[in-house]
Amino acid sequence: MLKLQNYINGVLTPPASQHYFQSLNPATGKAHAEVPDSDARDVDMACVAAEAAFLKWRDLGHEKRAAYLIRLAQLIETHAARLAHAESVDNGKPLKLAQHVDIPRAAANFNFYGTGILHYASESHAMEGMALNYTLRQAVGVVGCISPWNLPLYLFSWKIAPALAAGCTVVAKPSEITPYTAFLLSELCIEAGFPPGVLNIVHGYGQRCGDAIVRHPLIKAISFTGGTATGKHIAAVAAPEFKKLSLELGGKNANIIFEDCDFEAMLKTTLLSSFSNQGQICLCGSRILIQRSIYSTFERAFIDAVKRLKVGDPLNAETQIGAIVSKSHFEKILSYIELAKTEGGTVLCGGSALKLDGACAQGLFIAPTVISGLSPGCRVNQEEIFGPVVTLIPFDTEAEALAIANGTPYGLASTLWTSDLKRAHRVAAALHTGIVWVNCWLLRDLRTPFGGVKGSGVGREGGFEALDFFTEPKNVCIKL
């Protein structure tokens, strides 16, 4: 079986504990890798290596740092097939999705920040005849990057790339549930000739290894993506130490469908925004709000299309819906479907686990599930399920749609479908989310600010926002 190692100070390193745990393929139930069970000792080694590498990396200059990132992007492209297969086996997502989304995006992240840093500039403020202020943007130092399991290499690289581009050195931890591609990335860093200590990747459980990163005194900033409860805990630990924090957390996104929408385009995209990656994308629209005049037409057409989605072996090119990432998450999703029934919901399709044949007989599959008849305030419509489960909620007026959409503790993203331009602007401005898609979903321009409000997080990633996060502005005032 594959034995993953930490990547510390440029070297593949076993954990101090010498202990490993197994990583399971959720589509087959079989273990495919052993993962280092790292603790505070490994994190300390990584932080010391990152601290020792910091000044040299920063002072290398942005053009040379950029060249390393672009070289890494090229290596990801060269090894794309292997990385996509690893992502699918580790996570249960359709191989096709990993090939077309996850891995190309990981390469794009390094390319984007490798070239982005070349265009990053700071301001000056002239006090005519009196003084000149200029802003130095200085790398904050050693930073911690902690990422979740749903888009493993995609989100891992989304944090690491801007941190390295900005001149920081990094101690990073992927999710213990999907560590495989992060390990392959460490091999590619070695192949790319990365200087030792610039990027360190430590594997292990959140409460031991992740917690040690958050607490380590050499870590100056933490970029975290994951659940809201974890984010709250990290903020409580890091805030008293005045560490910079970027928190990208959970969501309960509304997909608002007005009667004047382009119905065909909406239906096609709503299937994707509901069930892509088994509904395990923080941006999925898990609450579908439909104007009452088209509610029954929508319900009929949507259920018909959902029933035709192909659930199956993630390695099969025909598969649209793969496996749920882990047993505990699988059980959590099923428990929410049961809760929906007790809260008065009607399961219109799906609603249960699926047993497949052959290699996937022990896999964790759930049929895409659509539920109606729930009140907007019930738990199923308030709490993040993060699986292939959506609810249908009718509304009459724009004001009512807004009240329902905004009526959760989350505020990550929303989607709205309308042909009325004035309404699009009005509703987009009134939604309490960090991202609004109008007549589209997951259309991403990496230059745009990315992040949520309320329980969905603090701070923004993307574009120069991430470079701002990984640098500290210093004003220098010179008297003329």
282, 360, 384, 461: the active-site residue: 282
87, 176, 248, 398: the active-site residue: 248
- 393 binds ligand NAD, rule: CB under 6 A: no
- 249 binds ligand NAD, rule: CB under 6 A: yes
- 225 binds ligand NAD, rule: CB under 6 A: yes
CB of 22 to ligand NAD, least distance (A): 16
Q: Are strands 413-417 and 219-225 parallel, antiparallel or unpaired?
A: unpaired
Scanning 7-100, the segments in alpha helix (DSSP H) are 40-59, 62-78, 80-91, 95-97
SS3 179: coil
Out of 15, 26, 179, 206, which residue is the one contacting ligand NAD (CB under 6 A)?
A: 206
Which window, 11-19, 84-92, 118-126, 226-234, contacts ligand NAD (CB under 6 A)? 226-234
Distances (CA, A) of 96 to 79, 170, 319, 455: 15, 31, 8, 32
Q: Which residue is nearest to ligand NAD (CB)?
A: 206
Out of 385, 412, 466, 467, which residue is the one contacting ligand NAD (CB under 6 A)?
A: 412
Residues 39-98 that bind ligand NAD (CB under 6 A): none
Out of 92, 210, 314, 376, which residue is the one contacting ligand NAD (CB under 6 A)?
A: 210
- 173 binds ligand NAD, rule: CB under 6 A: yes
Beta carbons of 123 and 468 less than 8 angstroms apart = no
Active site residue 248: yes
Query: For ligand NAD, what does the binding mask look like between residues 434 and 463, x meaning CB under 6 A?
Result: ------------------x---xx------
- 162 binds ligand NAD, rule: CB under 6 A: no
Q: List, in order, residues 6 or more apart from 49 with CB less than 8 Å away.
A: 8, 9, 10, 196, 197, 200
Tokens encoding 427 = 């509703």
C-alpha 446/C-alpha 67 separation (Å) is 19
Beta carbons of 450 and 428 less than 8 angstroms apart = no
Which window, 172-180, 305-313, 333-341, 344-352, contacts ligand NAD (CB under 6 A)? 172-180
Any idea which residue has 């997080």 for tokens?
A: 457
Closest CA to 25 of 88, 90, 83, 95: 90
Cβ neighbours, 10 Å, residue 296: 11
CB of 197 to ligand NAD, least distance (A): 21
Nearer to ligand NAD, 149 or 298 (CB): 149
Active site residue 299: no
Which window, 130-138, 224-232, 268-276, 393-401, contacts ligand NAD (CB under 6 A)? 224-232
Query: For ligand NAD, what does the binding mask look like between residues 282 and 321, x meaning CB under 6 A?
Result: x---------------------------------------
Distances (CA, A) of 387 to 86, 117, 321, 323: 21, 36, 11, 10
What DSSP string describes 153-170?
HHHHHHHHHHHHHHT-EE
Q: Quick one: angle between helices 103-116 and 62-78, nearest 10?
A: 160
Give the residue numbers annotated as catalytic, written as ranges: 248, 282
Residues that bind ligand NAD (CB under 6 A): 146-150, 155, 173, 175-176, 206-207, 210-211, 214, 225-227, 230, 233-234, 248-251, 282, 384, 386, 412, 452, 456-457
